[in-house]
Structure formats: structure tokens, C-alpha cells
Amino acid sequence: MLYNLPPTLLFCIPFCTSLSFSLSFRETTCVASSPSSMDSQGDHKPGPVGKGAAGDEYKKPQVVLVDGLLVMPGTLRHWEKIKSFQARPDDIFIASYPKSGLMWTTQVMNMIKLHGDVEAYKVDKTLIPFLEFCRPDEEPAVEKINNLPSPRVINIHAPISHISKSILENKCKVICILRNPKDVAVSFYHFHTFNNMLPNPGTWSEFLQNFMIGKVGFNSWFDHVKGWWSLREQPNIFFLFYEEMKKVGNSKGKGMVYEIGRL
């Protein structure tokens, strides 16, 4: 019953319940980093402030709190539209905490939608929109999604506490992806260092502490996973594990692709 987490992720709990592991974690995980990316104590330095297309530097944004959820400023501006989004019964959602394999699964779904036509995918790589994604200089994705024909496939990062109620009320099909939190934390940190639309993560130790207490975008990994896992008995919710997706050569990996295709 500990954390009520999936069996394949329970082994992570002793590792993640204390910040005391941070030094050994840093040593084993960051060993491949170049010396220029480390400070004198062996900790990661944050990435650059950010550079625009013309090479001019600008301050990276900060996450903001809206309805108890930490999101980016662009998402905040259109939060009411995102919150009031109306799902259709035949919608398919790909749900995950950040850096858990959502884009990988999106690639698979894109190819399924295109019947394996690689050339067609090269023309448009944004076939599956991201509900919460909002660039400062573009219209919010939610408006584009509202105009898409059915059946729609939509990406979401929000925990179940902050998704549109219509998703569960309409019993929409959801592919939920789960990944080892140790790898999520490392990937999320590095994603912050080079993505100019995300906050400066600080050092690895600082980011790790924020990750552990849920003071990063989309809040706590633990709460996110517990929330979705609580729906595991519902027939319209299909779970994928990042680590098992990598086993594409075995029958289990092929079975996962088959199950996604059936959706």
C-alpha cells in the first residue's frame, strides 16, 4: 500500500523518500558530464540565461501558481480556456508527468494515425497538440484543438486534480505513461538547462530538492502518479511504463504497440 504506486515503480520509494541520497546520485548520474558543466564541488551549473534568435540574452521565465498548480506564464494567460476545455467521447489523451515518454508515445501515435507513412509525418510533425502548451507569440493550443475534427488525440501533463472534468465524465480513452522518478528528475533538470521557455533550474542539488517537494512545473511526481494510478481499474485507462517501452524487441513491447493501435 506504500504510496499506492505501480509495482514496477515501488522499488524507487526508498531512494526517493530522503534527500540524503543526492550526493551519491550526483556522482553516479552526472559522471558523463563535461568538467565545464560542473562547479568546484562537483555540482551541476545551470544553463545559460537564454538567447534569442539574434543572440540577445533575456531572463528565463518563472513558473506561476494557478489553482494550486505550477505552470508557465503562457499557460496562465489561457488557463480559463484550458480549464473549461470540453472533451469529446471519442477523444484519446496521452497523459504523463513531464519527461516520462510523452513525446515518444506521441511519435508512435502519429505513425499509427498516418498508417506508417513516414513521408507524411515529415510534412507535419505536430499532428498531436499539447493542451496546456502556449507560446507567448501564438494562439493557445486549446483553440486549435477545439477546431480539430474527431477523433482527436491530445497530449496533457496536468494531474487528474487539474484536468477537465469532461475527460473522465465522457470516459475518454487515456494512455498514461509512467517512468522511474530518478530518470525523470535528471531528464527534467537537463531539459530546464537548455529550454529557454523553462525557468533556470539552479544547481542540480537545488533542482532535486524542488523536484522532491513538488516545486517544479506540474507539481509533485508522486501526486501525479498516485492520481492516475488510482484509475487503473477503469477500462478506458491504459498504462505504459517507459522502461517496458524500451523493450521493443520482445513480445511485451510489441504488445504495447498493438494495444495503442487498438485505441
Give residue limits of the domains in the chain: 60-262
Helix (H, G, I), strand (E, B) or coil at 185: helix
pLDDT computed for residue 119 by the predictor:
83
- Tens digits of per-residue pLDDT, 192-207? 999 888 999 999 999 9
Candidate ranges 12-21, 31-40, 225-234; pick with highest mean pLDDT: 225-234
| 142 alpha-carbon distance from chain centroid | 17
Architecture of the domain delimited by 60-262: 3-Layer(aba) Sandwich (3.40)
Which spans in the chain are helix H? 7-10, 13-16, 22-29, 73-77, 79-83, 102-113, 118-123, 141-146, 165-169, 181-194, 204-212, 221-229, 242-245, 251-262
Strand partners, 130: 155
Spatial CA neighbour of 209 closest among 45, 21, 27, 47:
21
The active-site residue out of 157, 190, 192, 224 is 157
pLDDT computed for residue 249 by the predictor:
55
Report d(CA 145, CA 87) in Å as an integer. 10
Residues in the chain: 263
pTM comes to 0.76
**220 vs 106 pLDDT, higher one:** 220
Asked if 192 is an active-site residue, the reply is no
Percent of the chain's residues with pLDDT above 70: 70
- Tens digits of per-residue pLDDT, 34-91? 333 334 333 444 444 444 434 444 578 889 999 999 998 888 888 999 989 999 999 9
Candidate ranges 19-23, 71-75, 218-222; pick with highest mean pLDDT: 218-222
Report d(CA 142, CA 64) in Å as an integer. 19
pLDDT computed for residue 9 by the predictor:
52
User: Is the per-residue pLDDT at 33 higher than 70?
Assistant: no
pLDDT computed for residue 115 by the predictor:
81
CA dihedral 160, 166, 168, 170 (to 10 degrees): -160
Confidence of residue 184 (pLDDT cuts 50, 70, 90): very high
Q: What is the DSSP string of 208-263?
A: HHHHHTT-STTS-HHHHHHHHHTTTTSTTEEEEEHHHHT-TTSHHHHHHHHHHHH-
User: Is the per-residue pLDDT at 1 higher than 60?
Assistant: no
242: CB partners within 8 A, 6+ apart: 100, 101, 104, 177, 178, 179, 180, 183
Range 110-132 average pLDDT:
79
Report d(CA 157, CA 184) in Å as an integer. 13
Report d(CA 201, CA 222) in Å as an integer. 20
pLDDT computed for residue 262 by the predictor:
62
Backbone angles phi, psi at 204, to 5 degrees: -60, -45
User: Is the per-residue pLDDT at 250 higher than 60?
Assistant: no
**30 vs 212 pLDDT, higher one:** 212
Candidate ranges 4-18, 32-46, 177-191; pick with highest mean pLDDT: 177-191
CA dihedral 132, 133, 138, 141 (to 10 degrees): -50
pLDDT computed for residue 245 by the predictor:
83
